[in-house]
Amino acid sequence: MLRQRIAAGQFEGNRAVFARLTGAFFRAVLIALLVATPSLLLSGVAPDTAQIVIILAMLSAGLVFVEYFGKSPSIIEFRFAPPYNRLRFGALAATVLILSLIMRGTTEPNALNILLSYAGTQVGLALDFPYSPVRLTLLMLPETTSAADVATVRMAAGVAYGMSIVMLLVFLVIVRLFWWPVRRRAFNVWINLPLFDPTGGGDVLNKLGRDSSVNISLGFLLPFLVPAGIKAASGLVDIQSILSPQPLIWTMCIWAFVPATMIMRGIAMNRISELIRAKRRRAYAQADADGLQTA
């Protein structure tokens, strides 16, 4: 019986390692494909640019593989609280793919490219209202920018910013209606927040609340502040260089998704603080009940 239990334990351990290996490899491949998507779909990519993209794709894939193959995370947060990271990756991948297909349509048009271009243009026009982040993005362009380039930037900014808004709305629904992250499994704060230091700043609830407020505030302000900062530093930044397809795709994605990710992190940390506060109340109530029973 002892040998059978040892053999069964070894089999379970080997199966867990294999599952972790295949999962890490699959995620690494997806990240590599995400990084390489614009270069794969766009025509006229310079050989030097292609080599740089390959290196970046391999580095990104290696980082993700090491992170997900390990038993506990070291950088990636909410690894054991799906679909947090899946939602972020899915929204970013969809945005990169859509913008790449639209840019490809300028040289190799087809029905799909034309449809996506029309939809992206309408989204950009809908989000281009006074004082919106999309309008501020257009204002950072030089006065000599052609109307076609302005329309392209508006479309790319609208698609990226609109997709980031959809991502946030979906996450809010998951948090409020589907009881993320405790609907299906217990939530472990320490392995899901490897970069969070609970020892600094007094009570962990206060620190979670501060981090949540900072992330949400910065995430809301950055889409407005970044175009203004680039416009102020126009003498140091060559804005025309980002109008090429690949730089434009990644610039708009970074501009839209970094702030949105910060807001998501703030919402998640606020949710975790609510769970900890509720657990403390139950623990205090149980302690009071036990004390009354003892007395």
C-alpha to C-alpha distances, 175 to 180, 204, 240, 275, 277, nearest whole angstrom: 5, 21, 41, 12, 16
Question: For residue 78, what are its two tokens?
Answer: 């909410």
The answer to whether the Cα torsion of 63, 64, 69, 70 is positive or negative is: positive
Note the pLDDT of residue 233: 77
| 162 within 8 A of 255, measured Cβ to Cβ | no
pLDDT 10s digits, 5-54: 554 555 565 787 888 999 999 999 999 999 999 999 998 888 888 899 99
Name the band, by pLDDT with cuts 50, 70 and 90, for residue 224.
very high
Q: Is residue 110 part of a domain?
A: yes
Q: Is residue 76 part of a domain?
A: no
Q: How many domains does the chain have?
A: 1
C-alpha to C-alpha distances, 198 to 109, 113, 188, 209, 270, nearest whole angstrom: 53, 49, 13, 12, 14
| 224 within 8 A of 133, measured Cβ to Cβ | yes
Matching residue, tokens 């919106």: 132
Name the band, by pLDDT with cuts 50, 70 and 90, for residue 3.
low
Instruction: For residue 217, give its domain range.
Output: 81-180+208-271
Q: Is residue 23 part of a domain?
A: no
| Percent of the chain whose pLDDT exceeds 70 | 93
Average pLDDT over residues 219-248: 86
pLDDT 10s digits, 83-126: 999 999 999 999 999 999 999 998 889 999 999 999 999 999 99
Name the band, by pLDDT with cuts 50, 70 and 90, for residue 2.
very low
pLDDT 10s digits, 189-209: 888 988 887 766 678 888 899
Question: How far apart are alpha carbons 28 and 18 in whole angstroms?
Answer: 15
Q: Is residue 109 part of a domain?
A: yes
Predicted structure pTM score:
0.91
Question: Whose CA is closest to 36, among 86, 106, 93, 81?
Answer: 93
Please enumerate in sequence order all residues whose Cβ is within 8 A of that of 240, keeping only pairs 6 or more positions apart, or say none.
142, 145
Is 163's pLDDT higher than 80? yes
Question: Whose CA is closest to 254, among 140, 156, 171?
Answer: 156
Q: Is residue 108 part of a domain?
A: yes
| 271 within 8 A of 181, measured Cβ to Cβ | yes
Question: Whose CA is closest to 156, among 93, 223, 237, 102?
Answer: 102
Q: Is residue 293 part of a domain?
A: no
C-alpha to C-alpha distances, 139 to 145, 155, 239, nearest whole angstrom: 11, 14, 12
| 70 within 8 A of 132, measured Cβ to Cβ | no
Higher pLDDT, 229 or 253: 253
Note the pLDDT of residue 294: 60
Q: Is residue 41 part of a domain?
A: no
Half-sphere exposure of 132 (CA within 13 A, CB side): 16
Q: Is residue 176 part of a domain?
A: yes
